[in-house]
Amino acid sequence: MTTAYGGRTRFPVVLPLASLLAGLVLAGLGLAHPAPAHAAVAKAAGAAKAAKAAKAAEGDRIPAYDITARVGTDGSVAVRERFTYDLAAGRPTPLNWAVPIRFTSAGESADGRDQATGQVVSVHDLAVRMDGRPVRTYHDHQAWWYAIWIGPDGTTPAGRHSYEVSYVLRGLVTSPGDQRQGASGAGTAQMWWNAISAHDEPIDRVRLTVTAPGTPARVSCTITDDAAPCRARADGSTVTFTAANLPGKSAVTTYAELPGVHADDSAAILPGVKATLRSNLAGPGAMAGLPASVVWAVAALLAAAVVVGLVLVARRPRLPAAAVRDTGALVAIGGLVLAYFLARYDLIWWALPVVCFGAALVVMSLMLPSPGAHRPAEPAPSPTGPEPVAPAG
C-alpha cells in the first residue's frame, strides 16, 4: 500500500507508528491492574506512607478527634472528621491524612476450611477544609491507602490548626458469611472500621458516632496494644465510641453489626483502578489539586486553538489528502494516550480537544481533492512527421 505525498510515493508511516502507540496504551493499561492482596504488602505500604510524613516534634498533640458517620441502607458510609492539631514547631511538609482501602483477613469457611478473604474500600466525594476554609489537597496514589496531603503552600505552620474532612466510603460494610447466618437464612451486615489510623502525635480525646438505619448490635472498639480503654454506648440507632489519653501510634478500630443494611460489595473500586469517567465528570482537576475553573479555562483555550487550526487547514485545499489523514490519525491516537495519563488527575478534558482535532483532520481529508483531480487537461500530442503542405494553385 502506498500513498502520494507531493507527487512522490512513500510508505504510510502512520501504520507502524499507530501500532506502536496502541501497544504503549495496552502496556499502560496493564500497569493499572491492582496488586495481589497480601498482608505483608499492606504492612510495607503503610510503613512507606508513615516514612513520607514529617515526624512529630516534641510537644505536638491532637487535642480532639471527632468523627460522625451515617450508614446508608446500601452500605455506604458518609463520614465527617473534625480534628485539631497543636504543633510546637512548623513542618516543611503538608499534613498527611490517609484511610486504609484494602484489607486481607484469614478465617474459616462454612465447611471448616481455612480461607483468606480480601476487602476493598473506595473513597468518594472528598472535601477538605483547614482553619475554616477550603484548602488544596495533593493526592498520594497508593494501592493500599487513600492518602492526601493537606496544606495551602506545601508546609504546615506551627500553632493550632483545625481540619474538617468529609467523604463517602463504599465497601466498608460487608455482607455476612454463611457462618453468620441465622436460622431464617438472613444474615446481618457487619462493619469493621479502622476509624483512626496510627498518628505519631498523642490524642487527648476521641469521639466517634455512628448512625445506622436500624439498631446496631454487638458493638465494640479497641485501641492499639490496649493503650487506653475504649467505650461503646448504643442509644437506639446511634452508637458512640469514646476514648481518651491515647499515646502516639495508637489506632482506633470499631465493630458493629448493622441490621437493615444490605451491603453492595461490588460498589467499591479496586485500588489502582479508578472510576475515571465518573471522577472527571464530578470533580474536574480534583486529583491534581486544581480548581474546576482552571481546568475549564485551559480546555477552552485548547478548543479555540483547535478551531483556529482547522480553519487554517480548510483554507489550504491543495494540501495532500493522504498527509492530512495520516497526521490526523497520529494526533488522535496521541490524544488518546494523553487522555489515559491525564485521567488519573481528573484532567481528561485537556486531552479531548487534541483527540477532536485529530478526528476532524481525518474527516477533512475525505473532502480534500485527491492528487491530480484538478490538474488541467494536457494538449493532444501532435502527430509525428512534417506537416502537410497545401498544393499551389
Residue 96 pLDDT > 60: yes
pLDDT digits (tens, 9 = 90+) for 205-224: 999 999 999 999 999 999 98
Res 393: pLDDT: 53
What is the average pLDDT across 316-325?
Answer: 78
Asked if 362 and 332 touch (Cβ cutoff 8 Å), the reply is: yes
For the chain, list the domains and their CATH numbers.
3-30+290-365 (no CATH), 55-271 (2.60.40)
> Residue 239's Cα: distance from chain center in Å?
32
pLDDT digits (tens, 9 = 90+) for 154-201: 788 899 999 999 999 988 888 765 333 333 335 788 888 888 888 889
Give the model's confidence band at 71: pLDDT under 50 very low, under 70 low, under 90 confident, else very high: very high
The mean predicted confidence, pLDDT, of the chain is 75
First-to-last C-alpha distance (Å) of the chain: 63
Residue 98 pLDDT > 50: yes
Lowest mean pLDDT among 66-80, 279-293, 347-361: 279-293
Look up residue 33 and give its three cell numbers. Answer: 491492574
> Using CA atoms, how far apart are residues 197 and 147, in angstroms rounded to an integer?
11
Res 267: pLDDT: 52
What is the average pLDDT across 255-274?
Answer: 67
Higher pLDDT, 107 or 80: 80
Higher pLDDT, 319 or 56: 319
Q: What percent of the chain has pLDDT over 70?
A: 66
Res 309: pLDDT: 86
Lowest mean pLDDT among 77-86, 139-148, 255-264: 139-148
Higher pLDDT, 103 or 21: 103
Give the model's confidence band at 392: pLDDT under 50 very low, under 70 low, under 90 confident, else very high: low
Residue 261 pLDDT > 80: yes
Res 122: pLDDT: 83
> Using CA atoms, how far apart are residues 313 and 195, in angstroms rounded to an integer?
58
pLDDT digits (tens, 9 = 90+) for 321-369: 888 888 888 999 988 988 888 877 778 888 889 998 888 888 888 877 6
Residue 300 pLDDT > 70: yes
pLDDT digits (tens, 9 = 90+) for 220-249: 999 988 888 999 999 999 999 999 999 988
Residue 95 pLDDT > 50: yes
pLDDT digits (tens, 9 = 90+) for 116-132: 456 778 888 889 999 99
